Structure formats: structure tokens, C-alpha cells
Amino acid sequence: MTEMVYGAAPAAAGDPILPRWWRTVDKLTMTCILLLFGIGLLLGLAASPPLAARNGLEPFYYVQRQAFFGILALIVMFVTSMMSPNLIRRLGVLGFVAAFVALALLPVLGTDFGKGATRWYSLGFASVQPSEFLKPGFIVLSAWMMAASQEINGPPGKMLSFGVAITVVGFLAMQPDFGQAALVLFSWGIIYFVAGAPFLLLVGMAGVTVLAGTFAYHNSEHFARRIDGFLSPDLDPRTQLGYAANAIREGGFFGVGVGEGQVKQSLPDAHTDFIIAVAAEEYGLALVLVIIALYAAIVVRSLFRLMRERDTFTRLAGTGLACVFAVQAMINMGVAVRLLPAKGMTLPFVSYGGSSIIAGGILVGMMLALTRTRPQGEIADLIGRRS
């Protein structure tokens, strides 16, 4: 328990990999991730049987698949968390290249599954969403470029990474997938901010983003429909947002009871985008607050550990990964309570979805690897010696 709260002692470089990993990894963050996965399975038992029945499948078909992909994601997370920052950088860059190629080929080889946005590859037994795997790779690539730009005679990494960001956003907007595009821009902005971006430049970027949103509103029926639905003072109770809002109201503080919720009978995405509505209806605000606390603990814990980090790349990449993880959770829950327009974004480690949970395992595994305690001293020690 002491190590979970105050951190583990640095390990010697010659230690075996597993004991060294166990002593240096953030066990509190791992525990929170496992709890979120367990909560996701619990909510899947409630949310997915009605959908399975409508599709003529076994009652727990989606729960079994969620458990399979979740266990695979946890294995990926544990393996990735054992890597060094240098190996994380190589994995991130290669992963970004592969995911970007897959993203670029979506208009030719992808499918929309009748949802109006071409975001997936259909493999028959499963589907793959390249944008989910693109995010961790993009964050690592951007952090590497910006860290390199701070070296003497280093490349113009900030400008190069911005060009990559705009290119990725362009491909995402063509799907259209404005939610993932916003996450990519946010991740680049937060890394640039930590790297020392001028505040006025960030304000200017925010203004450009607003102009781009206005252009998309007037030129994309998909985007305009979601914005209009969000801004409308009257909420149609027969829409997904209407069902979700009613479920949250009905749940109260302690919920209507396990298995007694009705929103899962009406919402086609109750097990994915609106899983928090199922949690609020059956278990009440109490469980929702627990879920929020788990996400907050993961992000705050990671950021505090990164504040002590001396290596620029590790600090930038880790901060970007932690913030994107937090913002994706905030967007999913914000949509359910109608604080944000609908974006079709899953709740990390809780919602059903193979691509989402495996990509989440990669992202969190990278974050755990970058926040491990290393025998390098802390940044405060370096500042103290220089002063």
C-alpha cells in the first residue's frame, strides 16, 4: 500500500525485467484500470442482452466478446508497460505510420455499417477502427518531434508535428469523424503547451478551430444535424439523447435496481456510446461518481509522476496520453448528459468495442511505461544542483 501511494523505489538496471517492472510501475493506476474493466463487464451484463436478442444472438454474446477483447487489451497493456521510453518511441512511430496508411485507405476499403461515416474495416468476425490506434501513435510522434526541436540544432519539430496533425485531421474530417479529429488537435495542443507554446498562439489556434467548425457546419449535413440536435431547446424523447437523459433522471442517487433499467431496451448504442446512461439508471449517481473518481485518479496520478520526470520526450508524451485518456472519458459522459453534441465516442475500458479497448490498452500501457520510476533522479534534483 505504501508503494501505491508514494511510489516505488528506483530499480537497478541489472534487475530481472519482471521484478524491476513490478517495483517501478504505478500500481494504483493499474488497479483503477482493472476496476474500470470490471465495471464495464458488469454494465455489459445489463446493457447487451437486449441487443443480442434483437440480433438473434446468444444473450451474453457481446459480454463474452467484451471479456475476450478486454483480456487481450490488458495483456497488451502489461507488455507495453514493460518497455523503455526509447522502445515506446519506436513503437509509437511505427504504429502511427501503420494506422495512418489504414486511415488513408478507408475511403476505398472501409465501410460505414449504415452509420453514415466510413470509419471501419470489416474483417467478417470483427471490425477495426484505425483512428483508435492512430491516437497513441500520433501523441508519441508529436512528443518526439517537439522534444527533438528543443535540442541544439534540432529539427523544426513543432512545425513538422503541426503539419502531421493537420493532415490527420483532414483525413478524419472526410469520414466524417469530427470527434476523433478534435481529440487529435487537442492532443497536439496540450503537448505544444507543455513544450512551451506562446499563449497567444494557442488562442489563435482556438479561433481557427471555431472557424473550421463553422465551415463544417455549413458544408456537412452529418455535422450540422448533430449540432442542431444539441442546440435545440426541445429534446425529442425518442432519440438516443432523449432516452439517455430520461434514464439518468430515473436513476436518481442509488438507481432503480440491478436489471430493472429500461433504457437498454430502447438504445441501440446502450453498450457502447451510452453505457454511462445504463450505469446511471440501474446503479444511480453513486456508481457514476465512482467511475469519474477512477478516471480522475488515473490522470492526476500520472500527471504528478510526470512532473518529476527529467526527460523531455517522456514528459511530453506521457502528458499527452494522460490528457487524451481523460478528455475521451469526459466527452463520452458529457454527450450522455447533453453537455456536448453527440460524437460517437466510447468510454475507455467500460464501453463495448474491440478497437476501442485494445487501443486503450496500448495507450494506457504507454502511459504506465512512461510514468515508471527510473534510476535517474527527479527534475527537482537537477534544478537544485544548477541553482
Question: Which amino acid type is present at position 50?
Answer: P
- pLDDT confidence band for 17 (50 / 70 / 90): confident
**Mean pLDDT, the chain, integer:** 84
Would you say residue 378 has pLDDT above 60?
no
- The answer to whether 310 touches 379, Cβ cutoff 8 Å, is yes
Angle (CA) 41-329-203 rounded to 5° is 170
The percent of the chain in helix, strand and coil, each rounded to the nearest 5, is 70, 0, 30
- Check residue 182 and give its pLDDT: 86
- Which of these, 93, 74, 189, lies nearest to 141 by C-alpha position? 93
Instruction: Give me the pLDDT at residue 302, please.
Output: 95
pLDDT of residue 115 exceeding 80, the answer is: no
Mean pLDDT for the stretch of residues 209-231:
72
The answer, yes or no, to whether residue 8 has pLDDT greater than 50, is no
Return the C-alpha torsion angle 130, 89, 329, 349, nearest 10: 70
**Per-residue pLDDT at 238:** 65
**pLDDT given for residue 299 in this prediction:** 96
Quick one: pLDDT at residue 222?
64
Q: For residue 312, is pLDDT > 90?
A: yes
2: pLDDT confidence band, cut at 50, 70 and 90?
Answer: very low
For the segment 277-306, the average pLDDT, to the nearest whole number, is: 93
Q: Of the ranges 179-183, 225-229, 381-385, which one carries the lowest mean pLDDT score?
A: 381-385
174 phi, psi to nearest 5 deg: -75, -15
DSSP 30: H
How confident is the model over 365-385, as a mean pLDDT? Answer: 72
Does residue 107 register a pLDDT over 70? yes
Q: Which pLDDT belongs to residue 230? A: 66
Supply the pLDDT for residue 244.
80
Provide the grid cell at 120: 471501419
Specify whether the CB–CB gap between 375 and 11 falls below 8 A.
yes
Please, which pLDDT band fits residue 5 given cuts at 50, 70 and 90? Answer: very low
Q: Which of 61-70, 300-309, 378-387 has the lowest mean pLDDT?
A: 378-387
| DSSP conformation letters of 51-117 | HHHHTT--TTHHHHHHHHHHHHHHHHHHHHHTS-HHHHHHHHHHHHHHHHHHHHTHHHH-B-TTSSS
Percent of the residues in the chain that have a pLDDT greater than 90, as a whole number: 41
More confident site: 235 or 300: 300
pLDDT of residue 90: 95
Q: Would you place residue 370 in the very low, low, confident or very high pLDDT band (cuts 50, 70, 90)?
A: very high
pLDDT at 368: 96
Cβ atoms of 142 and 294 closer than 8 Å: no
| Main-chain dihedrals φ then ψ at residue 121, nearest 5 degrees | -105, 130
Whether the pLDDT of residue 51 is over 90: the answer is no
Range 53-75 average pLDDT: 90
Asked if 151 and 195 touch (Cβ cutoff 8 Å), the reply is no
Whole-angstrom CA distances from 222 to 82, 208, 268, 318 are 42, 21, 19, 34
Confidence of residue 200 (pLDDT cuts 50, 70, 90): confident
**Model-level pTM?**
0.87
180/134 Cα distance (integer angstroms): 10
pLDDT for the residue 117: 75
- pLDDT greater at residue 361 or residue 202: 361
Instruction: Output 38 or 120, whichever has higher pLDDT.
Output: 38
Output the pLDDT for position 300: 96
Is a pLDDT exceeding 60 seen at residue 13? Answer: no
Q: Which pLDDT belongs to residue 234?
A: 64
Confidence label for 329 from pLDDT (cuts 50, 70 and 90): very high
